[in-house]
Structure 1
Amino acid sequence: MEPLSRIRLVVLAAIMGVVSWGVSRTAVNSGASPMSVPWTVIAIAVALAGVVVWLGWTVRQYRRGKNPGLSGLRAARTAVFAQAAAYTGAIMTGAFGGYGLAIAVEWSHGPRRDVAISAFIAAAGGLVIVVGALLAEHWCKDDGGNDENQGGSAPA
């Protein structure tokens, strides 16, 4: 499995930010009222980051020999889940960051400032997911010091 590319995550977040900013500016300029980002988005983002870190921690303990009951398949699934969560967090960071920037143009207007702040907090939640996922993926990586076929025959 190929490790996560931080550059790819940044590019994905930037693309999503530009698209989100453009769509949001177009909508606001045509008369639409921006909506505040619900607090549940932030809560779910933090919960997802916690789950990813917890699963990564169990794999880390397995690799250190402290959790022998964990299967290699679960460790591989955890690494894939961490990568998927990192991409999700990058998309969230870019989308909510672009939305917040589009609304922040009118910072002096109180209600729009509140919407921009909620979008920036949601973007920070996406960043929390990315950091947690990168940490979990790091814990799941093979150091390269182990033999590829430790336990017997090669997989079919």
Structure 2
Amino acid sequence: MKMRRTPWWQYVVAIILGTLCGATLVKATEHSAYTLMGAPWLVSLLLAMLGTLVLIMSWQVRKYVKGELKAMSMDRAVNTLLLAKSLGIAGAALAGWYGGQLLMSIGHLEAEFYGDAALECGVATVICLVDMVIGIVGEYWCQLPPKDGPEHPRTKEAERRRNLAPAAGASAGASTDAATGVAGTTTGTINR
């Protein structure tokens, strides 16, 4: 399986889109009786716990790659890589989302609701940025050294040589009598 590193511009796009969506949400619900602004403290706690979990799992894959850990399931290593990639992009998008809400609520900090929402969004933005960094670092740590898979040029060359070896061995053991043109073997019989 071949996986590529997440390009840097995808994080930038996720932050920009998240910021636009978060700011639009605040602007759209500014004069409404209902609002979705802010981040419950439980969300910030869960995001911090998720980042910690991905960091620990990525560290274990790093120890395996360095040889400090003797055995690890490749499924676990791949799943850790997928979690790290997902956490990086989701962290960027959510940092933009909560950052956009924070930017739009700064002008209304005198109101208690906006002050509380700005504090919640500020904490959530910082946690999401940390999660994004953990995702990027975890993705780097989960890089496994390349193995010679079936499509690797060295493996193909070794397979080609293996396939040629029996044919060369069979032709070396067989001989042809020049006078009669009869094929014989050199294993123990003498052709006269």
Give the TM interval when normalised to the shorter protein. 0.7 to 0.9
1:35, distance to aligned residue in structure 2 (A)? 4.8
Single out whichever of 1-10 and 104-113 deviates more from structure 2. Answer: 104-113
TM-score, normalization by structure 2: 0.71
- The match for 1:81 is 83
Q: Which has the higher contact order (CA 8 A, sep 6+)?
A: 1
- The match for 1:119 is 121
| 1:154 corresponds to which of 145, 150, 154 | 150
TM-score, normalization by structure 1: 0.85
Residue 73 and residue 32 in structure 1: after superposition, are their counterparts in 2 closer, same or farther (change >3 A)? closer
1:36, distance to aligned residue in structure 2 (A)? 4.1
Residue 35 and residue 11 in structure 1: after superposition, are their counterparts in 2 closer, same or farther (change >3 A)? closer
Determine if contact 1:34/1:103 at 8 Å carries over to the other structure.
no
Question: 1:67 aligns to what SS in structure 2?
Answer: coil
Structure 1: runs of 5+ lacking an equivalent:
none
Structure 2: runs of 5+ lacking an equivalent:
152-192
Taking only aligned residues, the RMSD between alpha carbons, in angstroms, comes to 1.9
- The match for 2:97 is 95
1:23, distance to aligned residue in structure 2 (A)? 2.0
Question: 1:154 aligns to what SS in structure 2?
Answer: coil
For the pair 1:38 / 2:70, whether they are aligned, the reply is: no
The CA distance in 2 between the partners of 1:95 and 1:154, in whole Å, is 44
Determine if contact 1:82/1:133 at 8 Å carries over to the other structure.
yes
Question: 1:12 aligns to what SS in structure 2?
Answer: helix
- The match for 2:63 is 61
The CA distance in 2 between the partners of 1:109 and 1:34, in whole Å, is 16
Question: What fraction of aligned residue pairs are identical, expressed as a percent?
Answer: 23
